Amino acid sequence: MQNLQPFHTFSLPAKAKKIIEIHSIPALQQAWQDCLAEQLPVLFLGQGSNVLFVEDFDGAVLLNRLLGIEHREDADFHYLHVNGGEVWHDLVRWSIEQGYYGLENLALIPGCAGSAPIQNIGAYGVEFKDVCDYVEVMNLHSGELFRLTNAECEFGYRESVFKHKYAQGYVVTAVGLKLAKAWKPVLKYGNLANLDKSAVTSADVFAEICAVRQSKLPDPNVFGNAGSFFKNPVVSAQQFERLQQNYATIPHFPQADGSIKLAAGWLIDQCGLKGFQIGGAAVHQQQALVLINQGNATASDVVELAHHIYQLVALRFDIHLQPEVRFIGKQGEIDSQQAIR
């Protein structure tokens, strides 16, 4: 068994039968065939920034290290073809330096470009779907490379077709981004609303988001974590009205379909859980949405802590939080919500 601790940002003790770095499409095909022949389960990882290994993985972990960015443009748009192993934040910073704007709100989201469409990553009013032109996918059984349009990806809140139809036997090899030359800042959330819309630049937005994230969120090199542990829950207008009667200042974000998105971090904070600890796992002091490894946590500490949070929030608000982090068991991904109930 090989040590997985350096390859996931929670930095919990975990092992896998094999760990293989993938630098090319032929190497990817070969590794997949070898694993099939050995009947090994396969898990694809980028930066390992959104996973919790609840036990040792009885298979091969393939690390996406497919690198390279190609640019083309027309009168209205910049188009980027980005290979899946590119580090997302480095891509955001590089694009702004090149004068290709539109990714700035997605700064400092951990992970690789190939993981971005799976989760439909998002922050500060922008989601991956807003900048996605296409996603390039490989059918591992046939070796066929094909592209899905934005619509075919079926993006939703932390949702996509890659969690369902293309979850098994397929891998994202590259993403296509489409960035408008007529850049319009998105300044709806938090401190961004204080920026002067008429004078602000993409670099200003990038700098502000980096500053806010660094002040609130723990550095995975100091405290292992997987970023936001839970999804922000979406409730009906009726349920929200009932909640607002008891909690007048509850942060809320109306959605296009009439439902209301709530802030999971606020709900957890209202339960008095900032700093709460089980074993070596704790709720982060600055941002209750983030669970941290204080250095000696085990996976069961994290699961137990998540269970405790789930129970308290359900009891107080009648809201059942869903983990955003993917839980990985012996054979592969397991039902995370089932695991914390």
Report the pLDDT value the prediction gives residue 194, as an integer from 0 to 100: 82
* Active-site residue, 160 included: no
Domains and CATH numbers, the chain: 2-64 (3.30.43.10), 69-213 (3.30.465.10), 218-340 (3.90.78.10)
Report field, pTM of the whole predicted structure over 0.95: no
Report the pLDDT value the prediction gives residue 198, as an integer from 0 to 100: 83
* Active-site residue, 158 included: yes
The catalytically annotated residue of 158, 202, 326, 336 is 158
Report the pLDDT value the prediction gives residue 221, as an integer from 0 to 100: 87
Report the pLDDT value the prediction gives residue 115, as an integer from 0 to 100: 95
Using one digit for the tens of pLDDT, what is the confidence trace for 87-110?
999 999 999 999 999 999 999 999
The catalytically annotated residue of 208, 324, 326, 336 is 324
Residue ranges of the chain whose pLDDT lies below 50: none
Three-class DSSP labels, the chain = CEECHHHCCCCCCCEEEEEEEECCHHHHHHHHHHHHHCCCCEEEECCCCCEEECCCEEEEEEEECCCCEEEEECCCEEEEEEECCCEHHHHHHHHHHHCCCCCHHHCCCCCECCCHHHHCCEECCEEHHHCEEEEEEEECCCCCEEEEECHHHCCECCECHHHCCCCCCEEEEEEEEEEECCCCCCCCCHHHHHCCCCCCCHHHHHHHHHHHHHHHCCCCCCCEEEEECECCCEECHHHHHHHHHHCCCCCEEECCCCCEEECHHHHHHHCCCCCCEECCEEECCCCCCEEEECCCCCHHHHHHHHHHHHHHHHHHHCCCCCECCEEECCCCEECHHHHHC
Report the pLDDT value the prediction gives residue 270, as an integer from 0 to 100: 97
The catalytically annotated residue of 95, 115, 202, 228 is 228
* Active-site residue, 324 included: yes
